[in-house]
Structure 1
Amino acid sequence: MNTEQIAQRLVTLCREGKFEQAHDELYADNAVSIEPDGLPPGALGSVQGLAAIRDKGRQFQERTEAVHSMAVSEPLISGNWFCVTMTMDITMKQYGRMTMGEICVYHVHEGRIDREQFFYDVG
């Protein structure tokens, strides 16, 4: 798949809440996931490797009590890069209900996502 096809597939799977399937189908084994600096203690931080990315996703799901709504934008593509915005109205077990908004940036190498980086306000 090319970058545009991967971007469209990722958006489709995310909108359906199929994050694990997205990892299985679209990510490279050596992919990295980068979170912002300054996260509070115990937050899910940056990781390297598909197994670690899957584990981070599972931990996020375990910490989530309810997803009230989620919106994922259409991708913006430039060469091997694409980005989307994601907004979630969720209830976290530790923090209660909140709206989370972020910009998600992805890099594609040899037909797989090898880097994801998330930009959002910490705190």
Structure 2
Amino acid sequence: MNTEQVAQRLVELCRKGEFDQAQNELYADDAASIEPKGAAEGMGDAYGMDAIREKGRKFAESIEAYHGFSVSEPLIAENWFSVTMGMDVTMKGMGRIDMNEICVYRVKDGKIVHEQFFYDAG
């Protein structure tokens, strides 16, 4: 798949809430996942799919309820693409919050090799 195809497939799967499927299908085994400084404990940078899956598991466990989720259409530049994601959730011990972030991805050989998230942490 080229970058646009990977981007469209990621958006499609995320809109359905199929995050595990997106990782299994679209990510390289040695992918990197980068969070902003000050991210919640256990939500820091992760390298390799085992670590990325574990980070995702911890995040999912921290959510009591989903109230809404959105993903924009991708913006593509050669081997890179970005989307905005919004999530209205109730977090354990934190109450209901509305999270919005910019997500940037790098594609190499038809797989996501790098993802980086930009949001106000803390």
TM range, normalised to the smaller chain?
A: over 0.9
Give, as a single letter, the amino acid of the residue that structure 2 aligns with 1:24. Answer: N
Give, as a single letter, the amino acid of the residue that structure 1 aligns with 2:108. Answer: H
Once residues 20 and 55 of structure 2 are traced to their aligned partners in structure 1, the CA distance between those partners, rounded to angstroms, is: 11
Task: Name the structure 1 match of 2:118.
Answer: 119
Structure 1: gaps spanning 5 or more residues? none
- Superposed CA RMSD: 0.8
Q: Could you tell me how far 1:77 is from its partner in structure 2? A: 0.2
Q: Could you tell me how far 1:38 is from its partner in structure 2? A: 2.3
Q: Could you tell me how far 1:43 is from its partner in structure 2? A: 4.2
Task: Name the structure 1 match of 2:26.
Answer: 26
Deviations 1:53-98 (A, max 9, x none): 1111111111111110001000000000000000000000121100
Between the two proteins, the alignment pairs up a number of residues equal to 122
Give, as a single letter, the amino acid of the residue that structure 1 aligns with 2:100. Answer: G
Q: Superposed, which structure 2 residues align to 1:25-104 within 5 Å?
A: 25-40=25-40, 42-104=41-103
Q: Could you tell me how far 1:37 is from its partner in structure 2? A: 1.1
Question: Structure 1 length normalisation: TM-score?
Answer: 0.96
Structure 2: gaps spanning 5 or more residues? none
Once residues 24 and 122 of structure 1 are traced to their aligned partners in structure 2, the CA distance between those partners, rounded to angstroms, is: 27
Q: Is the 8 A contact 2:42 2:55 kept in 1?
A: no
Once residues 43 and 29 of structure 1 are traced to their aligned partners in structure 2, the CA distance between those partners, rounded to angstroms, is: 20
Moved over 4 A (4+): none
**Secondary structure at the counterpart of residue 102 of structure 1:** strand
Give, as a single letter, the amino acid of the residue that structure 2 aligns with 1:62. Answer: E
Q: Could you tell me how far 1:10 is from its partner in structure 2? A: 0.2
Give, as a single letter, the amino acid of the residue that structure 1 aligns with 2:72. Answer: S
Once residues 108 and 101 of structure 2 are traced to their aligned partners in structure 1, the CA distance between those partners, rounded to angstroms, is: 23
Give, as a single letter, the amino acid of the residue that structure 2 aligns with 1:10. Answer: L
Q: Could you tell me how far 1:122 is from its partner in structure 2? A: 1.2
